[in-house]
Homo-oligomer: A and B are copies of this chain.
Amino acid sequence: MKIAVCQYNPIIGDLKGNTEKILEGYARGVKDGVDLVVFPELFLCGYPPLDLVEKKEFRDAVSSAAKLIAGQTNHVGLLFGTITEDYEDKIGTGVYNSALLCYDGEIKFVQSKTLIPNYDVFDEVRYFESAKDVSVFEFRNEKLGISVCEDIWNDADYWKHRRYTVDPVQKLVDNGATVLINISASPYAYGKRKERFDMLSLLTRTDKIPLVYACTVGVQTELIFDGASMCFNKDGKLELLGKAFEEDYFIYDTQKKYSEIKNYESSFEEEVLSALILGVRDYAKKTGFKKALVGLSGGIDSAVVTYIAVKAFGAENVHVILMPSKYSSAGSVDDSLNLIKNLGISYNEISIQPVVDKALELLKPIFNGKPEDVTEENMQSRMRGMYLMAASNKLGYLLCTTGNKSEIATGYATLYGDMCGALAVIGDVYKTQIYKIAGYINRNKEIIPQEIIDKAPSAELRPNQTDQDSLPPYNLLDRILKMYLEEQKEFEEISKVIGDAAVVKKVLRLVDLNEFKRKQAAPVLRVSTKAFGYGRRFPIVQGWRK
């Protein structure tokens, strides 16, 4: 069987645009003489559609679009993901996350998703009922075993601890499927691709059935979908791999011999950088921004974000603003100017001091002689935020937020100050990882000036300040944070590993106390298994202390 995989990039809710993409991919497959054209999970409405699913007019429009698409099919099969509704259901939402197989002008077969994920960034139980039935479908002398995303993530051979009691893919195998097809929308995190490979390779070589794993690509605000669709033969060998972080179209022939693909992953630096560039580019494309704006401090975070913006928008569409204060180090402006030169972007320099001084003068009656504290530091940061937002509003540029994961975790950032912006580009990347990425950016020639990489990290909000006045060294901090945030380890266990309970306690407390800031943070591009934002939900007000 010849199967065309359309690893395309939908826009959530854009039924017109997504319909066009489906029809375009189908026409291409027909022209190429394939048997079946496959699109990813919920491609017609985009994934995740969230509460749009609760709107009846939306569901009706999706349903009409699906029928319209089916009506345009000929003898070649078209399989795509969409929401369906069972109006006979007397109990529950009556809505399903389904794969539709269409040909000869009709919807011929519907297989809904059985396993409804409801953890981390997934909220699907909120919307979808579990499939009433799982069955194979005969098409062109093959028995298609169709499943949707999570359905394939409960293999008893692979998982030590399973989430679900049923295994719909096993049922398809037991019912005699000869080709497995899984349509998927699986959010990216570094390392996830290896997990997909390991699991799917084991599954196909155990069950002796080839698999087409068709993934979505593109970015939906915080969630990055990396594509990299995979086709395995019945011996568990990876034979075709879709492009990573871009749209792709390719044909898999289950009868053909391919050479085995062994490299499906890149280095952390390369992969994450690609993910973030796509993140910024796709956010801008889907919201209509043509140009980007970054506040350049002279530090490594804003330098890396500016590089990402240049890759996403092109140098001619990136503008930066330098806003030194009296606490800025002599090198800050020079280093920034060197970066600007290396990247070939435009800039302005504007002082915050006269405005901060004026504000401080007027605030005197309120401050009432109280000593200087973090207030004055925050004011500098907020003044910069105000400039950047003014420029963004006036010029229509997308303001990229520059805070990293270590900062956001510990609250080492000013709400309404350096936290201003539409998208927290590196908000899921620890400070120590930023250095690695900077090194990767400079692998062939110096783009980010070495001075920026070498200097001690500082917010430069008071004389001779460095981050390490308030925080543990970043290599220690990031180890603690990674265990706490991503590895679900807790105080006792982390303390044992680190050997310093006091510093662990301090860091964990900072994380817990800063939930209120993160509530008001820009969306964070997710590149780890646990990012701040939608998939991490802690009470803002709570008293749990270990």
Contact = CB atoms under 8 A, between A and B. Distances in A.
A50 B386 contact: no
Interface of A: 11-17, 46, 48-52, 54-58, 61, 90-92, 118-119, 123, 125-126, 161-165, 220-221, 283, 286-287, 321, 348, 350-351, 354-355, 358-359, 362-363, 365-367, 370, 373-375, 378-379, 382-383, 385-387, 389-391, 393-395, 415-416, 420, 422, 488, 490-493, 516, 519-523, 536-546
Nearest to A491: B57
Nearest to A386: B382
A26 to B, nearest CB: 21
Contacts of A374: 393
Contacts of A422: 516
Given A12-B542, A542-B13, A378 B358 contact: no
B389 A382 contact: yes
A390 B385 CA distance: 14
Contacts of A123: 118, 123, 126, 537
A50 B125 CA distance: 16
A57 B490 contact: yes
Q: How many chain copies?
A: 2
B283 A50 contact: no
B387 A56 contact: no
A542 B536 CA distance: 22
B488 A55 contact: yes
A242 to B, nearest CB: 23
Contacts of A365: 348, 350
7 contacts: A57-B490, A123-B126, A221-B541, A355-B358, A359-B383, A370-B395, A374-B393
A348 B366 CA distance: 7
B542 A46 contact: yes
A370 B387 CA distance: 16
A367 B394 contact: yes
Contacts of A519: 522-523
Given A46-B539, A49-B539, A126-B537, 8 more contacts: A91-B162, A118-B118, A118-B126, A287-B541, A350-B363, A355-B355, A366-B394, A389-B415
A390 B416 contact: no
A542 B52 contact: yes
Contacts of A321: 366
A541 B348 contact: no
A519 to B, nearest CB: 6
Contact of A522 (B51, B358, B385, B520): B520
Given A118-B118, A355-B355, A358-B354, A385 B416 contact: yes
A361 B52 CA distance: 44
The interface centre, meaning the residue of A57, A61, A118, A362 with most chain B CB atoms within 10 A of its CB, is A362
A492 B58 CA distance: 11
A14 B544 contact: yes
Contacts of A393: 373-375, 378
A350 B539 CA distance: 35
B490 A541 contact: no
A97 B354 CA distance: 57
B375 A379 contact: no
Contact of A52 (B17, B286, B383, B539): B539
B57 A13 contact: no
Contacts of A16: 543
A35 to B, nearest CB: 31
Contacts of A49: 539, 542
A444 to B, nearest CB: 33
Given A57-B491, A537-B50, A416 B389 contact: yes
3 smallest CB-CB distances across A and B, nearest first, come from A13-B544, A14-B543, A13-B542
A57 B92 CA distance: 35
A166 to B, nearest CB: 10
B389 A378 contact: yes
